[in-house]
Amino acid sequence: MSVLKLTYFELFNINVSITLDLNELNNKYLKLQTKFHPDKYSNSSAVEKTMAARISTRINDGYKILGDLTTRVDYILKINNFTTDENITFKNNQFLIEQMELTEMINNSDRKQYNNIKKEIKAKIASLILDMKNNLSTGDFDILYQNNSMIKFYKKNINQLSK
């Protein structure tokens, strides 16, 4: 099978999983780039150079996607043919209320409280990651998508605290 037709998990020879060993991913990335980097093909034909560039780009894209939790989960959903209607908005009203309250708390807090707020958010993310592992194992992609959406909101909160 062509390297270009492999999923990113297959390309990096990593099991499909919500959590990954990022050191392992990095090591496999470096090995793949050593093997397929376009500079290795500088004396090759134009076709081989083009193919090496395409493979290298695919490796870079896979590394970037698999290296981030939320993009990795989006990719897992994609390779499992899960699609969402872009016109449908996130509908967990309880979570949206919590987000408004959290944003207000961040805006009304002083910097001394930021670390405690970050710890609370990271604990919520850790809990969602456990839920997402279960969602993946049971094939509950709708809930997996919703949990990933919540993590995206929480990551925005953490970024807000880092400014």
Q: Which two tokens mark 56? A: 């290298």
Structure confidence at residue 163 (pLDDT): 74
Task: Report the chain's terminal Cα–Cα distance, integer Å.
Answer: 46
* Main-chain phi, psi angles of 154, to 5 degrees: -65, -35
- Out of 1.10.287.110, 1.10.10.10, 3.40.950.10, 1.10.3720.10, which CATH number does the structure's domain 3-67 have? 1.10.287.110
Structure confidence at residue 3 (pLDDT): 87
Among positive and negative, which fits the CA dihedral 102, 103, 105, 109? positive
Q: What is the CATH number of domain 93-162?
A: 1.20.1280
Tell me the pLDDT of the chain (163 aa) as tens digits.
Answer: 588 999 999 999 999 999 999 999 999 999 999 998 888 888 888 898 889 899 999 999 999 999 999 999 999 999 999 988 766 667 788 998 999 999 999 999 988 999 999 999 999 999 999 999 999 999 999 999 999 999 999 999 999 988 7
Structure confidence at residue 86 (pLDDT): 66
Residue ranges of domains in the chain: 3-67, 93-162
Structure confidence at residue 24 (pLDDT): 98
Structure confidence at residue 89 (pLDDT): 64
Question: Model-level pTM greater than 0.85?
Answer: yes
Same fold, 3-67 and 93-162: no
Helical axes 69-79 vs 141-162, angle rounded to 10°: 160
